[in-house]
Structure 1
Amino acid sequence: MDNKELAKKIVELVGGKENVLKAANCMTRLRVTVKNPSLVKEEELKNTEGVLGIVFDGNYAQIVLGPGKAKKVADICIDELGIPKDMSVDEDWVENKEEMKAMQKQSPFKNAIKTIADIFIPLIPAIIAAGLFNGLASLISTLQGQAILPAEGTWKVIQLLFALIGGGFLSYFAIYTGINSAKQFGATEGLGGMLGAISISPNIVAISTIFGLYDADVPLNSILTTGKGGIIGVILGVWILSKIEKWIRKRIPDVLDLVVTPFLTLLITSLLFVFIIMPVTGYISDLLVSGLSLIIGSSNSIVNIISGYILAAIFLPMVLLGLHHGLIPIYAIQLESLGGVSLFPVLAMAGAGQVGAAIAIYIKAKRVGNHRMQKIITGALPAGFLGVGEPLIYGVTLPLFKPFITAGLGAGFGGAYIMFSKVMANAWGPSGLVAIPIMKPESMLNYFIGLVISYIAGFIITYFVMKDNEVKNV
């Protein structure tokens, strides 16, 4: 069945064109909004060739087709079959994930996590690019130090250029965070960026010294110093800035608003930010880093192995609950304080465990003649290897449930190895094989080994836990 035939079949099974209000591509899924959900033939749709899975919520249907195919089928539905396009859906992969999480019941905690995610998600492409450039610059520098590459000339220029590009984002991470925080909190974006810039200004040290808050012997132990509080401080500072700005704007005459409001807002917020927010959030960040060091940076190998296993094993349930976005500030804190991220490579093993589990299910599906499941796995596995886990989650492991658990148990072994070998990344972003380039040069091989361990462990555990009849009847 080609893409056009599949598009026509899907429209037919969701109640026909007259029952479809709008459609859109969500990376690996075709999302359709229907008038009458009772007209949707869900079982027939699940068994349709090319459909990897379905997620229903009210009158929304997320039909999992896999990367690439989902976009082509959506285009056919909209351009050739005349289905209205859902303009509210951004086809970017990040927006797609947020759409899925929006289906879940929200709580103040989840809303807070979503706000944090919305601050950092637009920055992910830059984070990845900066990490890659810094990683390449570090690799070239290492090879130059080993006399494999010349220390001067063209390679020196390339090394400096790559370091310049990578530093162009990561050196000013606080400013970008301030701008995006202002967007989320309804403040003026430029003011949010200015607050971020204040946090990394060298004048902080001079002010801190005057008030006796700076430790010249051990600067990092200072109550107040450049970067103190990190991105946590910037986010909190911008949130307070947004409240102050709105309060002042209501009380300032329109004719004076453009001049007086930003001036007073920054003056008041900056005083609070420098003398209260930065020291307090700096103390919190220091405690968090210390706590993380006990768990994921311990000198005790047994602690490393256990924590690595647990973190990788529970990550997929965290993704389903939408809690994984709460880890983004931790990534950022690690990047700021350690120059790299050790938590991300551990959690990336979760997807690899799922790949191994899917391969085990494929073998069993072939044995019992479940050709539909074989086709689903064949279509979803390439994306799984490349770090796109949704097709395997919604098409294979979650519907069967047991493999969803065994995939995590298998991933834990890879996570334990990653933590034990102290793998460090230059940034965070997509997982799977495509994350190898964003690892630090000395960590690339161990990261790959961790993936292989997760593949194998996920396969073995799933193969022996799942019964043939459980795969046959799905």
Structure 2
Amino acid sequence: MNLELISKQIVDGLGGEKNISNLTNCMTRVRATVKDKALVNITELQDIDGVIGVVEDSTIQVVVGPGKSRKIGDYINQNYKFNSESSSNDKDYVAENKEKRKQNDNKFKQALKKVANIFVPLIPAIIAAGLCNGIAGYFTNTYAAQGITEIPIWITFLQTIGNGLFGYLAIFVGINSAKEFGATEGLGGMIGAITISANIDTISQMLGLFNADNRLNSILISGKGGIIGVIVSVAILAFIEKRVRKVMPDVFDNILTPLISILLTCMITIFIIMPASGFVSDGIMKVLETLIMTEGPMAIVGGFILSASFLPLLMVGLHHGLIPFYVLQLESTGSITLFPILCMAGAGQIGAAFAIYLRAKGRNEKLRNVIRASLPVGLLGIGEPLLYGVTLPLGTPFITASIAGGFAGAFASYMKVASIAYGPAGLTAIPIMLPDKMLYYFLSLCIAYVLGFLFTYFFAVPKGIDEY
């Protein structure tokens, strides 16, 4: 990959550096916020060698694949200068299209985008911590089965790394939420830390809100409401802080603004947000329990629906909005069933792509080269290259892959497959599954691979495969 060339081509396709106000990256995409979408040449971006696809929402997302996205994003940010302020040349365009963008960017989509912006920077840490916990958990259970009670130091070391994130996730979420909502980042971290403080239980006992017989039934306890409460509280913090700063004399701003903001926000957080978001979290858990955590047919139906509908979310980049549900399950039950179910959608693509690979032999070598390059990372859980390079452009394989993933998700749900973390998907997620569920997870993947292949090979090869 010629990093300098592809970076220049992407910047040019985005309308030049003067048209870019901000550029970031996630695991597979370079995300650009542009001033004038009319200057963006989508066709030019799609034709760049190394670009898998382009997604348009409130940003322009250039899909380049894992590893490349970080390198390209870093190179562009280091070698190009962006100005978030609109120039005199584009002010008319911004005003003219303001209402149109508001209509297209509905509130639900804006909310999901904010959630994604909070959690996407945490994904590398989530993957590292999840794998550490997965490896430690596997060997801990293995030693326990052999009657070994003394845990080796290397297992404790891995657990320390894993708990470094998951034990204090509320703090990380608080900091990132502050960045997103425009609050002071340190104060956002404080809000997250306060929600998991052991002193919350003491306050609850003093006010008679603590249930000594069943702690989890208490109106207020440490961690109540989880990260949902943290995100809402930090949004309130940003609202309060901005308004206090407006009326605060400059000489007292650095001292009194943070003090007043944190005091007011903490009172609202502890006595209103935490109990209320706890009620919401409990409601969400009941829905998940009904769909995928019960016995019998409902678990099968719920697993199918959730997995079969995941690729459309991935297609528009809204899949990161599901991360709070993973966290909620992990906080409530100690494991996650939703994550492995949704992993099956990407596995369905593997089978579908392999079917297309065989059927395209002697007919379309360019398509076979795309599949050959995308399959390895697809097996490791990175589905965007196959999505934008193969299944989505061809149409019908996208449908068969989703259906195959649905059946595999139904099996995973029925067998109560669960993970102890979330992050990598595909084969790389095996270590983070509960030890007694690893085999069922692998079998679920195999079901998705096989059905994706069969459904596509026999029923969904497009007539225009030669012209792709």
Q: Aligned partner of 1:402: which letter?
A: T
Question: Is 1:434 aligned with 2:428?
Answer: yes
1:282-431 superposed matches below 5 A: 282-298=278-294, 300-366=295-361, 369-431=363-425
Cα distance in 1 for residues equivalent to 2:321 and 2:29:
25
- Gaps spanning 5+ residues in structure 2: where? 83-100
1:419 to 1:362, Cα distance in 2 relative to 1, 3 A? same
Deviations 1:171-226 (A, max 9, x none): 11111111111111111111111111111112211211222211100111111111
Cα distance in 2 for residues equivalent to 1:438 and 1:146:
19
4+ residue segments displaced more than 6 Å: 17-20, 22-27, 29-43, 60-65, 68-72
Q: Secondary structure at the match of 1:126?
A: helix
TM-score when normalising by structure 2: 0.82
Cα distance in 2 for residues equivalent to 1:31 and 1:230:
29
Contact 1:54 1:61 in 2 (8 A): no
Contact 2:396 2:461 in 1 (8 A): no
Deviations 1:224-250 (A, max 9, x none): 111111111111111111111111122
Question: Is 1:127 aligned with 2:122?
Answer: no
1:6-405 superposed matches below 5 A: 21=16, 45=47, 53-55=52-54, 67=66, 105-147=104-146, 150-152=148-150, 155-298=151-294, 300-366=295-361, 369-405=363-399
Contact 1:52 1:376 in 2 (8 A): no
RMSD, aligned CA: 3.7
Q: Secondary structure at the match of 2:361?
A: helix
1:56 to 1:130, Cα distance in 2 relative to 1, 3 A? closer
Aligned to 2:96: none
Cα distance in 2 for residues equivalent to 1:25 and 1:265:
30
Cα distance in 1 for residues equivalent to 2:308 and 2:456:
14
Q: Aligned partner of 1:293: which letter?
A: E
1:334 to 1:54, Cα distance in 2 relative to 1, 3 A? closer
Q: Aligned partner of 2:182: which letter?
A: G
Q: Aligned partner of 1:351: which letter?
A: G
Cα distance in 2 for residues equivalent to 1:52 and 1:31:
13
Q: Aligned partner of 1:145: which letter?
A: A
Contact 2:296 2:414 in 1 (8 A): yes
Count of paired positions: 438
Contact 1:51 1:63 in 2 (8 A): no
- How many Å apart are 1:160 and its aligned residue? 2.2
Aligned to 1:96: none
- How many Å apart are 1:129 and its aligned residue? 2.0
Cα distance in 1 for residues equivalent to 2:167 and 2:130:
12
Deviations 1:111-137 (A, max 9, x none): 111111111112222222222222222
Contact 2:130 2:423 in 1 (8 A): no
Question: Is 1:457 aligned with 2:451?
Answer: yes
Deviations 1:80-102 (A, max 9, x none): xxxx95566xxxxxxxxxxxxx9
Cα distance in 2 for residues equivalent to 1:173 and 1:111:
23
Aligned to 1:99: none
Contact 1:128 1:438 in 2 (8 A): no
Q: Secondary structure at the match of 1:348?
A: helix
Q: Aligned partner of 1:436: which letter?
A: I
Q: Secondary structure at the match of 2:456?
A: helix
- How many Å apart are 1:61 and its aligned residue? 9.3
1:164 to 1:85, Cα distance in 2 relative to 1, 3 A? closer
- Gaps spanning 5+ residues in structure 1: where? 89-101
- How many Å apart are 1:301 and its aligned residue? 2.3
Aligned to 2:92: none
Cα distance in 2 for residues equivalent to 1:39 and 1:172:
41
Cα distance in 2 for residues equivalent to 1:257 and 1:209:
35
Q: Secondary structure at the match of 2:360?
A: helix
Cα distance in 1 for residues equivalent to 2:412 and 2:114:
30
Identity of aligned residues (%): 47
TM-score when normalising by structure 1: 0.82
Q: Secondary structure at the match of 2:209?
A: coil
1:52 to 1:455, Cα distance in 2 relative to 1, 3 A? farther
Cα distance in 1 for residues equivalent to 2:271 and 2:357:
60
1:267 to 1:401, Cα distance in 2 relative to 1, 3 A? same
- How many Å apart are 1:62 and its aligned residue? 7.7
